[in-house]
Structure 1
Amino acid sequence: MRLHDRVFLLLGGTGGIGKALVEPLIRAGAKVIVASRQPEGLARLSGVSAVHLDLAAPDLEHQLVRLSEAYPDIDGVIHCAGQNYFASLGELPVTAIDDQLMVNLRSAMLVARHFAPRFEAAGYGALVFVGSTFGSIGFPGYTAYCATKFGVRGFSEALRRELADTPVQVVYVAPRATATAMNPEAVNELNHALGNKMDAPEAVAAQILKAMENDDLRRFLGWPEKLFVVINGILPRIVDKAMLKQLPVIRRFLNSEVLS
């Protein structure tokens, strides 16, 4: 995938992995449109435009129409937006379930629904979805988040196959645990207790760009996480047993968001 002279709409570009993508895209010669609910708070950089877009809004479809009219040159979308909430299902607020469904999954589907036909008509375009290792491995305390990320992985796979005879590229990248402000301190402590490695957002952003430049269909990040994804798909009972051993440690940190 060529990055130079492309115009990318970046969703989730105000923090974490998305924010780390902005400058590398600019250095690669792309123009970036960062969508946010509060675009006025974004730093002004050459080659970067800030626009209003509320991914959780019921009228997201109409917002996308207005956005396309204002920026008709968009020829790529990077969906890097996401919300998570670490809690047992019984303690998970309904609003947290709804927010994750709306932002993580529904918005990805509506964005693709809006842009895929436009890219196909134009003869080129790319849809890049940033998923998660938890889109392949269910993890205690992240039931809703895993459900949405499993959905993003399945959706992107089905969409890629649906558009296989078109010029539209569909790329899926699944990072492992990443050190972003989205993680509460309890999650950082849990990862430390379990010995889970956490990647810097800049390292993940570099891998996303490599996946785009190499025309990867999918890219899973981190070792041994990539191996666990394969094992979980073939022999899930092995992962079940490993998770059962970890469960007492996980329960020490579970629901701290709810109780704090």
Structure 2
Amino acid sequence: MKLHNRTFLLLGGTGGIGKALVEPLTEAGARVVVASRAPEKFTDSRANVVRLDLAADDLPDQLAAITSLYPEIDGVIHCAGQNQFSAIDQLEPTALDDLLKVNLRSALLVARHFVPRFSALGRGALVFVGSTFGSIGFPGYSAYCASKFGLRGFTEALRRELADTPLQVLYVAPRATRTDMNPELVNALNEALGNQMDDPEQVAAQIIAAMESDQRRRYLGWPERFFVVLNSLLPRLVDKAMLKQLPVIRRFLSGVSQ
């Protein structure tokens, strides 16, 4: 897709991967409207900013208000998200509700809002940032994996639903990324397991490349891309590899990093 002269609504643009997307998008000639629950945190003059709470019950009304202000929006990049490293019995129901609302429910409602508008325009792009954990279930991330598995399945179905239209649907799955969403305990876990972590700017560059090359899906990182395929074909091999890592993961789940 061409980025020049397009207007993107960027969800989650005040931090992490979303914040790192603002510069390459504007350099490519796109206009950016950043939507955030905390718009006061966004100080980049290259983009406009609006308030949006993806976990709110009135999310459809908030989206309608934004498109009234910016009817020229012809692309959405959904890279907002919540993470939770927790054993299933330690997961608070309220935290689970918020995670599912932000990571999954909001993506469906965003598509529900914009698909008819983009169809009327005769163009439009829906870009969803998922995770390697949307393809590989990982101990300690059961709720997060559930939301990202759901997001991956949703984007696949949506892409096929819109296959005979000019609308584009892209799913990008980063591996572990250095963002403020990860507490130090999680960073230490990744180091203990030897997991590679990417900077947000690296991920943003990959998202832009996938958009410009009209890709439908892109998985980031090696050997993570290999394990995604292996897990889909021979999940028992991944089960055995995870079992070997489980004592380390359990130690971190208990809050002990040493």
Where 1:256 maps in the other structure, the secondary structure is coil
CA–CA distance in 2 between the matches of 1:190 and 1:36? Answer: 29
Q: Which residue does the alignment assign to 1:203?
A: 202
Aligned length: 256
Q: Which residue does the alignment assign to 2:186?
A: 187
Shift of 1:208: 0.2
Q: TM-score, normalised by structure 2?
A: 0.98
**Equivalent pair of 2:14/2:41 in contact (CA under 8 Å):** no
Q: Which residue does the alignment assign to 1:105?
A: 104
Residue 31 (structure 1) aligned with residue 31 (structure 2): yes
Amino acid at match of 1:22: V
Q: Which residue does the alignment assign to 2:8?
A: 8
Amino acid at match of 1:223: W
Within 5 Å, give how 1:157-196 maps onto structure 2: 157-196=156-195
Shift of 1:41: 3.0
**Equivalent pair of 2:55/2:106 in contact (CA under 8 Å):** yes
CA–CA distance in 2 between the matches of 1:59 and 1:112? Answer: 15
Shift of 1:244: 0.4
Where 2:68 maps in the other structure, the secondary structure is helix
Within 5 Å, give how 1:138-149 maps onto structure 2: 138-149=137-148
Q: 1:226–1:44: structure 2 CA closer, same or farther, 3 Å change rule?
A: closer
Where 1:198 maps in the other structure, the secondary structure is coil
Shift of 1:120: 1.0
**Equivalent pair of 1:81/1:104 in contact (CA under 8 Å):** yes
CA–CA distance in 2 between the matches of 1:224 and 1:94? Answer: 34
More displaced 10-residue stretch of structure 1: 35-44 or 20-29: 35-44
Q: Which residue does the alignment assign to 1:42?
A: 42
Alignment RMSD, CA only?
1.0
Amino acid at match of 1:19: K
**Equivalent pair of 2:13/2:35 in contact (CA under 8 Å):** yes
Within 5 Å, give how 1:46-125 maps onto structure 2: 46=46, 48-125=47-124
CA–CA distance in 1 between the matches of 2:114 and 2:62? Answer: 13
Shift of 1:95: 1.2
CA–CA distance in 2 between the matches of 1:52 and 1:209? Answer: 24
**Equivalent pair of 1:86/1:255 in contact (CA under 8 Å):** no
CA–CA distance in 1 between the matches of 2:81 and 2:37? Answer: 13
**Equivalent pair of 1:75/1:125 in contact (CA under 8 Å):** yes
**Equivalent pair of 2:76/2:127 in contact (CA under 8 Å):** yes
Where 1:50 maps in the other structure, the secondary structure is strand
Q: Which runs of 5+ in 2 are unaligned?
A: none
Where 2:23 maps in the other structure, the secondary structure is helix
Q: Which runs of 5+ in 1 are unaligned?
A: none
For residues 132-191 of structure 1, give each alpha carbon's deviation from its aligned partner in whole angstroms, at most 9, with x where no partner exists.
Answer: 000000000000000000000000000000000001000000000001111011111111
CA–CA distance in 1 between the matches of 2:78 and 2:41? Answer: 20
Identity %: 71
CA–CA distance in 2 between the matches of 1:149 and 1:116? Answer: 21
